[in-house]
Structure 1
């Protein structure tokens, strides 16, 4: 049996290029958890676990992700065959409840190792394999300033980097937020799609008003306007408005996907590998959506290069991706942690083609941004006797 011999889990803190304003927090940096493993054959894999705004967004924090991997997941891994990813993740699932982002980081590293061992990209190990080599990528306008957001949109349009724009709203009153969105849509016109993400910050009455006004403003979709648990409100809003409602925070794996699709509570799913608990669970979420007639969108937790590459491999395997993706995370950071950055051009992201994730870490930048500012030797995991 090929076993996991070494594990290193650490946090890197990287500043953002500008304040990133969400309904629940303003981000000035991103904290990324990296897990690096090596098996008994010497094959190395890397994964990432990233969340948004510490604990203001969800139940997992960077520090908690690292603790879950080091304290609870690593001991389970030492009993598993490193070549059997599904079996290893099932064993982890039996021993660790929740902690989807930590599980995603570990599964990503295992899939990276599996792809390298077989000499194929991770996307060929998911579902029926890769069906596309590049992905449309949205850019989030989240400075909170209308003029600045218009200037930013014009710049990335001119660079042919993005022609899909998602606006973070929900901090101001509904009408003020809609006026902000409408001004940006007027500036962009037919050159790009404009969408909004409320991050659960409206009640049903506010969402009812907001969705009506946003449709009139030319907005294409509204992401998670109400609380994630309020499926009844989501269903009523979806049935009432032409503008589609996209579920995001409400989706934490296949069970949520089934309930939301069955209730007609959303017409689009933002599929995130982190919230789903890994690439394999995210693929199951997408399969349920497609069976229920729900559109797909590749979501992000503002991951760095590792998590973004993993998400790209998942999205490359989905038969339908009508609403594109927002896998722009590395572009929001002042430094890229990959030796060769992911390639964004002509409004799309190229999916890596090398074995595994098809990426390598920039060790110097990792060492500089590593929170502990040290690079201890990989933790050796004892083999099962």
Structure 2
């Protein structure tokens, strides 16, 4: 039996406009840059992967341009000629070739899993042990910054049965202004929808104590990463002080962080992201730690396009418990994408594609239109 080997790896920068300005505590996005990976194997099978960051380097240590350099210069050379069907061996080679660079590694692991799923004729979720759900709940972020517009947008999405949980990105304005904005939206939506907030590390512990008390009183459902990620002791004090759940996002990069958070009681909920965990396997390891510690789980996003979002959905679909759903709305934020068919959203959820691998195919015309080096 001749084993398939990895023949070539291409990392392509793609710039896609967003449907509106997307405001976060650290930046305002009008364009999202994707790193699309095409991994070609000797048996003619191609695997697709994706890495994405939020606002270049404004979110974390990796940028799209840096991801491409890491793949082209270090990771791809370590994988070329290797057995394409042994995904875990390839993951180990990447760990030896480069430290960190979890976003780049996640894109390559995704491409390997996509190719293996196509090779065996099964979805990626089957390679991970099997899906326990065929849809994953998906929230929507209200990030215009305008209270009236955000309420109107939420009402329309509720009526269309597309989303019934809404996250508000806050932290750019004063605590009082942000809290007033959130409370007005929660009053308008009432019990018809969950409302959560993401502070993206923008508050000090004392600011968070004031803001969270008011948000809790208003009936807001969850507060995400209110203080800087390094301040786990502050997170633990806030989690012990309030009934409203506190979620760790930037503070959890992988299973080791999840273990430390569990040990210190620093969060009630963990945001699991395949990019931060170095891939789907790492994300499942992180989730297992949180689950074993009794911490609720949430499927996070780096605002990936269709390829990255569907890859994450395949992983999240295998989790026995996913109490807080997911935020895999990235494809909906983009004006266009580079796949032939984008994932389907209905009844407040994303439906998992049923085809082999990720269940997606590249649209060559769109890829050529949006690639940066065109």
Q: Give the TM-score, by structure 2 length.
A: 0.98
Worse overlay, 171-180 or 191-200 = 171-180
> Which residue does the alignment assign to 2:132?
131
Give matches, 1:342-361, under 5 Å.
Answer: 342-361=343-362
Worse overlay, 192-201 or 252-261 = 252-261
CA shift at 1:336, angstroms? 2.5
CA shift at 1:79, angstroms? 4.8
Give matches, 1:142-161, under 5 Å.
Answer: 142-161=143-162
> Which residue does the alignment assign to 1:85?
87
- Deviations along 1:295-329, one digit per CA (max 9) or x if unpaired, are 01110000000000101101101000010101000
CA contact (8 A) 2:35 2:67 kept: yes
SS in 1 for 2:229: coil
SS in 1 for 2:59: coil
- Deviations along 1:49-75, one digit per CA (max 9) or x if unpaired, are 000010011000000000000000011
SS in 2 for 1:371: coil
Give matches, 1:220-369, under 5 Å.
Answer: 220-369=221-370
CA RMSD of aligned residues (A): 0.8
> Which residue does the alignment assign to 1:372?
373
Moved beyond 6 Å, runs of 4+: none
Consecutive unaligned residues in structure 2, runs of 5 or more: none
Rounded to whole Å, the distance in 2 between the matches of 1:135 and 1:120 is 19
SS in 2 for 1:86: helix
Q: 1:119 aligns with which of 118, 121, 141?
A: 121
Rounded to whole Å, the distance in 1 between the matches of 2:211 and 2:281 is 35
Rounded to whole Å, the distance in 1 between the matches of 2:339 and 2:142 is 24
Rounded to whole Å, the distance in 1 between the matches of 2:74 and 2:50 is 17
CA contact (8 A) 2:8 2:80 kept: no
Aligned positions, number: 372
Rounded to whole Å, the distance in 1 between the matches of 2:243 and 2:373 is 50
2:76 matched to 1:74?
yes
Rounded to whole Å, the distance in 1 between the matches of 2:174 and 2:361 is 44
SS in 1 for 2:22: strand
> Which residue does the alignment assign to 1:382?
none
> Which residue does the alignment assign to 2:193?
192
> Which residue does the alignment assign to 1:383?
none
